[in-house]
């Protein structure tokens, strides 16, 4: 095996631990029918705690790119990894005591929780657009199943279906935006995209194409962060999903969405030619104004819509 890959694996221990824990949960759930509820819970808890313990030392590992510049290891990635693992662990503690989930088979739920946590860790550290898209799909697919986990509950099934439909449109738009951005810059890696844009890759008539590509990619980020106009799924999904899943969706995937949003715009769409310590938007694409506008509309509409809600879950949404 390539020595560089082996070195990268040493910094990839939290993700490896979660993968091993996921496989063990599936095996325990199949092979231990009488003890699977306790064993799967313990394996999931140990896996999350072990991943968190292996994440903390990475704060002193410095900044580097792993697996041929597909995944970044820096302070921001490590911080979000620790935060996301901790959020998943808290949801794990709430799952056995939930009245909604207590009547269901929890082994599969624990496997899904580990899977979505692994996807969020990859999403928060992706510096390649294709890796980012695959991580987003991994998070989305597992989230769809978790929302519809109460398969005999009509409201849960409806919430899952709406989540899938909105997710399919948003991530499909994002993938199309990635193809446009690749056509403009010739790369899917964020540092290479930034260099291409800095050298005039979006000059002339390409400015409008860059605006369209950014707007389409923003659809995927907006879906994960429930930003207007990609927020319509949020109230129904929060209401229909089991309460621990609602708590999870309101924190963890949104944090991962914000992490990748920051990384995309500051690592791929910011001009650092004037000063290495100062970030500014390219003249061809003033994304700061776009984000400010979306933020203002999202906060205003969200607060106004919350005034008439009499359901706590919809209020949070």
Question: 131-184: per-residue pLDDT in tens?
Answer: 999 999 999 899 999 888 888 888 888 888 888 888 888 888 999 999 998 988
- For 154, the domain range is 3-173+216-316
Beta carbons within 8 Å of 278's beta carbon, 6+ residues apart: 272
- For residue 11, the model assigns a pLDDT of 82
Beta carbons within 8 Å of 134's beta carbon, 6+ residues apart: 122
Q: Considering only CA atoms, which of 241, 4, 285 is closest in space to residue 112?
A: 241
pLDDT beyond 90 at 112: yes
Count of domains for the chain: 1
Q: Is residue 58 domain-resident?
A: yes
Q: Is residue 203 domain-resident?
A: no
Q: Is residue 93 domain-resident?
A: yes
Q: Is residue 260 domain-resident?
A: yes
Q: How far apart are CA 256 and CA 264, in angstroms?
A: 12
26-51 average pLDDT score: 90
Q: How far apart are CA 172 and CA 16, in angstroms?
A: 29
Instruction: Tell me the pLDDT of the chain averaged across its residues.
Output: 85
Residue 221 tokens, joined = 């980020």
pLDDT beyond 90 at 26: yes
Percent of the chain with pLDDT over 70: 92
**Model confidence band, residue 280 (pLDDT cutoffs 50, 70, 90):** low
- For residue 20, the model assigns a pLDDT of 95
Query: How far lies 312's CA from each of 225, 254, 309, in Å?
Result: 19, 19, 8
- For residue 47, the model assigns a pLDDT of 95
Q: Which range among 4-18, 96-110, 126-140, 285-299 has the greatest average pLDDT? A: 126-140
Question: Cis omega (within 30 of 0) on the bond before 86?
Answer: no
């Amino acid at each position: 095996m390539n020595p560089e890959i082996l070195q990268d694996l040493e910094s990839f221990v939290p993700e490896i631990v979660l993968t091993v824990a996921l496989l063990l949960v599936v095996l325990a759930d199949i092979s231990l029918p009488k003890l699977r509820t306790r064993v799967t819970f313990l394996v999931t808890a140990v896996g999350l705690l072990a991943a968190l313990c292996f994440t903390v030392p990475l704060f002193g590992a410095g900044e580097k790119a792993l697996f041929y510049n597909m995944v970044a290891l820096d302070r921001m990635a490590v911080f979000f990894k620790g935060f996301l693992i901790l959020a998943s662990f808290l949801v794990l503690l709430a799952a056995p005591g939930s009245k909604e989930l207590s009547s269901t088979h929890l082994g599969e739920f624990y496997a899904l929780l580990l899977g979505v946590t692994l996807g969020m860790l990859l999403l928060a550290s992706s510096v390649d657009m294709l890796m980012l898209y695959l991580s987003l799909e991994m998070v989305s697919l597992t989230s769809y199943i978790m929302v519809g986990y109460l398969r005999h509950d009509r409201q849960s099934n409806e919430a899952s279906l709406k989540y899938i439909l909105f997710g399919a449109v948003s991530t499909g738009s994002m993938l199309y935006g990635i193809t446009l951005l690749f056509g403009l810059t010739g790369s899917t890696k964020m540092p290479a995209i930034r260099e291409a844009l800095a050298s005039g890759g979006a000059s002339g008539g390409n400015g409008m194409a860059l605006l369209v590509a950014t707007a389409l990619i923003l659809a995927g980020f907006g879906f994960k962060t429930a930003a207007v106009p990609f927020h319509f799924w949020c109230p129904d999904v929060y209401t229909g999903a089991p309460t621990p899943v609602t708590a999870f969706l309101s924190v963890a995937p949104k944090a991962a969405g914000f992490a990748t949003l920051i990384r995309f715009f500051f690592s791929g769409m910011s001009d650092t030619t004037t000063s290495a310590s100062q970030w500014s938007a390219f003249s061809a694409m003033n994304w700061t104004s776009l984000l400010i506008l979306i933020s203002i509309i999202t906060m205003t509409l969200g607060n106004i819509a919350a005034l008439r809600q009499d359901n706590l879950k919809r209020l949070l949404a």
